[in-house]
Amino acid sequence: MSWFNPAADENVSLVRPDYFVISGLSGVRHIQLYYVFLFLLYLLSLLGNGAVMAVICLDRGLRTPKYVAVFNLALVDVLGSSALVPKLLDIFLLGHRRIAYGECLAFLFFCYTSLCMQSFNLLALAYDRLLAITFPLHYPVRMTHRRMLSLIAASWLLAVVLVLAAAGLLTRLSFCRSLVINSYFCDHGQIYRLACNSHFPSYVVSCVYPVVIFWLPLAFILLSYVSIGCALAKVAAAAERLKAFKTCVAHLSLVAVYFVPLLVTFTLMENIHPHARIINLSLTSVFPPAFNPIIYTLQTQEIKESLKKLLAGRRRGKVAAGRHAAVC
C-alpha cells in the first residue's frame, strides 16, 4: 500500500489544501474576449447537439446502432462542455480563481471523463463503419442495438474507472508548496507536479493513460480505415465506392477535429509555450462539441433528410392550425 501512499513511508501526514488557484492565461491582454468566444462555442454546442439528439429521438428511421453512438457522442459533448465552460466563466470572467480541493477533483473528474468518452465514442463509430463496409451482409447480425449499447456502456465504465483511479491517486499527495495550477482547469499533470511528496504513481498514470485513451483508439481508427480502403478497392462499381466513402467522411472529420490538436500538443510537448498549450487544449475541449453536430448535419444524408421531414411536418402543422383557427 505504500506505493499508493508515499507519505506512509516518510512518516508524515498528508497535507490537503483548502483550495487551489487556477492561473489560466494570466498576463495576456484582453484575454476575457477569448473566454467569451469559448462561451459562444458552448452555446453553439448546446444548440447543435440538442438538435442532433432531438432528430435521432423523433425519427424512427435513425434508430440504428450507428445513430445510437452518434446520440451518445452528442450527449457526451453536451455534458463535457457544460462541465467545463460555465466553470471557466466563473473562474476567469467573475474572478473566482480559488477552487476548493474537493470541487477541483470533481471538476477534473467530469472534464477528463468527457475527453475519454469522446475518444472511445469515435472508436465505437469506427468499429461500426468497419463492420458495415467490410462485412455488409453480416452487419445486421454483428452490430445490433444491444451490442452497440453494450460497447457504449463498457466505454463509460472504463472511462469512469480510469479517471476515478487517477483522481484517487491525487488524494494521496501532500501539497505544502505552491497551490497555483498552471492550466485552465484542474489539470491532472499540473496538480501532481505541485506535490511535495513522491508523485511517482501519478507520473506513471500520466504516461500510460494517453496511450490507452488517445493513441490506441487513434491507431485502431486509422487501421480500420486502411481496411475500409482495401475493401472499397475491391468494389467494382465506382458509384458504390463513392457512396460507401461518403458514409465515412463525417466520421473522419470528427476524428480530425478531435485528434489533430492533441497530436500537435503532445508532439510539441517540450517546445510549446505554456499559453499556447492552454489555448490549444481548451479549444480541443470546446471545438469538437461545437462542430460535431455541424459536421454530421452537413455531411450525413440521413440527418439532413430527417431534418427536412421534421421541418416540413412542422410547417404543415402550423398551416393546418391556422386554417382551423380561421374556420372557427
CATH number of the domain residue 302 falls in: 1.20.1070.10
> Does 323 map to a domain?
no
Mean pLDDT across the chain, nearest whole number?
86
Q: What element of type H or E holds 299?
A: helix 274-299
Grid cell, residue 304, equals: 439532413
Residue pLDDT, tens place only, 239-266: 777 777 777 887 888 898 899 888 777 7
Long-range Cβ pairs for the range 211-219 (8 Å, 24+): 212/162, 213/115, 213/116, 213/119, 213/120, 213/162, 214/119, 214/259, 214/262, 214/266, 217/119, 217/120, 217/122, 217/123, 218/119, 218/255, 218/259
**DSSP E strand stretches across 133-256:** 180-181
Q: How many domains does the chain have?
A: 1
Encode 211-226: b = buried (16+ Cβ within 10 Å), e = exposed. eebbeebbeebeebbe
Calculate mean pLDDT across residues 9-17.
70
Grid coordinates given for 168: 484517487
pLDDT at 5 over 70: no
Q: Which residues of 51-61 are buried (b: 16+ CB within 10 A; e: fewer)?
A: bbbebbeebee
- What would you measure as the largest C-alpha separation in the chain, in angstroms? 86
The 3-state DSSP class for residue 328 equals: coil
Residue 302 lies in a domain: yes
Distance CA 194, CA 283 (A): 25
DSSP 210: H
pTM for the model: 0.88
- 315 or 306: whose pLDDT is higher? 306
Measured between its terminal Cα atoms, the distance across the chain in Å is 78
In a domain, 326, yes or no: no
Q: Give domain status of residue 289, yes or no.
A: yes
Domain hosting 247: range is: 6-316
Q: Which residue has the higher pLDDT, 6 or 301?
A: 301
Q: Give tens-digit pLDDT for 87-137.
A: 999 999 888 999 999 999 999 999 999 999 999 999 999 999 999 888 888
Task: Give 19's strand partners.
Answer: 100
Contact 173, 195 (CB under 8 A): yes
Q: Who wins on pLDDT, 4 or 67?
A: 67
CB-based contacts of 217: which residues, under 8 Å, 6+ apart? Answer: 119, 120, 122, 123
Question: Which amino acid, 191?
Answer: I
